[in-house]
Amino acid sequence: MADIANLKCRECGRTYPVEPIHVCEFCFGPLEADYDYEAIDAVISRETIAAGPRSIWRYVDLLPVSENTPRVDLGAGFTPLVPAPRLGAELGIADLWLKNDTVNPTFSFKDRVVSVALTKAREFGMKVAAAGTTGNLGNAVAAHAAKAGMPAVVFMPSDLEQGKIVTTAIYGATIVAIKGNYDEVNRLCAEVADAYPWAFVNTNVRPFYSEGSKTLAFECVEQLGWKYPDHMVVPIGSGSQLVKIRKGLEELAKVRLMPAPPHTKVHGAQALGCSPVAQAFAAGVDHVRPVKPNTIAKSIAIGNPADGPYALAAVKETGGRVETVTEEEIVDSIVLLARTEGIFTETAGGVTVGVLKKLAQDGAFRKGDRVCAMITGMGLKTLEPVADRGRPTVTIVPSMDEFQEKIELGLIPSDA
C-alpha cells in the first residue's frame, strides 16, 4: 500500500506535503493524514487483516506510514476485548465489553500512537524522540526509543506520580521535570520543537502519532466478529483518542470492510476537576473554554485540549454524551473494576468506569445495547490515589491462635 499523499488542515482544508509539521500555516488548525481510500479499498480485506501480525500493524493499510519503513514495534495493540458480566451486573449493562489496553508493552494505549509516530520519525530521518507527557506517553516514547536505538527527551510536570517517573527513566530517557502543569509543559515543548529538530510525538509528528488511536476502533469491531458496538465510552484528555476512534469507525465503512454508516454512539468521560469538554457539552456550545486542571486523574488532566472542539463535535454527531465523575467516584470505580473484572486500571480508567455508571443510570443505553469501554492504562504506575484502599486487613504474629481470634471477631471472613 502506498503512503499518504498529503497532510490536510482540518479547519480550512489547505493541503501540505508529508513532512514533520502539525499546524496549518494559515489558520493554526491541526493537520491530518489524508488517505486515498479508493486505493486502500482495492487492497484491504478482512482476510489481509487476519493474516497480519497480532498488533496495530495488522491495520498498516490504514496507518500513515510507508509499507517498507522498518517499524518501531514493541508489539502494541491487539489487546483483549473482554466481556465484563460482573461489572455489567453492578452497573445495569447487560452486554458490556472492556478494551483492556493495560496489557500494552508499557501498559497504556500510548504504545499504539508512539509506535506509529516513531516509525514515521525514522522514515523522516529524525534522530531524537521527544514528548511532553502526563506520564504514560513518556513511558511509551522512552521504551520505543530504546528499542529503536534513538535518544529520548521527555518533558513532564515535576509533581507527577513516582511510578510514572521511574517507568520513563528506566529506559534511559533524559527526563526534564518542569515546575508547572501539563499545559505549561506542552507550551514549553512547542517552543523547544521550534528550536530543535527532534521528533516530538505530540507536536511535530502528531498528525501521524494520533492516527495510531484509530486501531482501538478497528480492533473493537474486528474482535466483536466484525460488528459495530452500539456504544463506545472513551476518556477525554486532549480529545485525540475519541476523535480518532470515531474516524476509525468511519474508515472501516469507507474502505467497505463494514456497512456505512457506523451507528456507534461515542461517549466522552472526564474528571469533574478537569472537564472543559463536558462543560461545553452541558452548555450546548461549540467552543471549549480552557480550565485549570485539578484532579487525581493526571493522565487526562489537560485544561486546554487541542482536540477538544473535535471531540465535542464527534460526540454530538454520533448521538453520544460527555459525563463527569468526582474524585471519590474515580477511586470507587477503580476499586469496582478491580473487584468485579480483575483489571487494575489507573485513574483515567476509573473515570471511564464511573462515567459508564452515570450513562447507564441516565438511560443512555437501551436494553440489549452492546457497550465497549476503553480501559486505557494500568493502575500500578499510580498507586497514590488508591493507597488507602490497599492496606492489610489485619496484622498478626504467625500464630494459629491469633488467626482464629480474628476469624471469631469477624475480621477475616471464614467463608473467604
Partner 1 sequence: MPKVKIPTPLRKLTKEQAEVDASGGTIRAIVDDLEKQFPGFKERMCDDNGDLRRFVNVYVGEEDIRFMDGLDTKIPDGESVSIIPAVAGG
Q: Applying CB under 8 A, which residues contact partner 1?
A: 11, 22-30, 110, 131-134, 136-137, 182-184, 186-187, 189-191, 194, 202-203, 206, 210, 237-241, 287-290, 292, 299-300, 302, 304-307, 309
Q: Exposure string (b/e) for 30-40, b if CB count within 10 Å is 16 or more?
A: bbbbbbeeeeb
Least distance in Å: CB of 113 to partner 1? 9
CA distance between the termini of the chain: 56
Report DSSP state, residue 322: E
- Comparing CB distances to partner 1, the nearer of 28 and 226 is 28
- Comparing CB distances to partner 1, the nearer of 14 and 86 is 14
Least distance in Å: CB of 155 to partner 1? 10
E strands present in 101-189: 129-132, 152-157, 174-178
Least distance in Å: CB of 222 to partner 1? 25
Residue 66 CA neighbour count, 13 Å, CB half: 10
Strand partners, 378: 345
Least distance in Å: CB of 29 to partner 1? 5
Least distance in Å: CB of 380 to partner 1? 18
Q: Kind of pairing, strands 129-132 and 95-100?
A: unpaired
As a whole number of angstroms, the distance between CA 107 and CA 111 comes to 8
Least distance in Å: CB of 255 to partner 1? 25
Cell numbers describing residue 110: 500510548
Q: Which residue has the cell 476499586?
A: 335
E strands present in 110-250: 129-132, 152-157, 174-178, 199-200, 231-235
- Comparing CB distances to partner 1, the nearer of 164 and 254 is 164
Least distance in Å: CB of 65 to partner 1? 19
Report DSSP state, residue 186: H
Q: Residues 269, 383, 108, 289: what is their CA dihedral angle, to the nearest 10 degrees? A: 30
- Comparing CB distances to partner 1, the nearer of 254 and 298 is 298
Let me know if 285 is exposed, middle or buried by CB neighbors in 10 A (0-12, 13-18, 19+). Answer: exposed
Cell numbers describing residue 142: 522512552
- Comparing CB distances to partner 1, the nearer of 11 and 327 is 11
Least distance in Å: CB of 105 to partner 1? 17
- Comparing CB distances to partner 1, the nearer of 67 and 194 is 194
Report DSSP state, residue 97: E
Least distance in Å: CB of 201 to partner 1? 9
Backbone angles phi, psi at 44, to 5 degrees: -90, 145
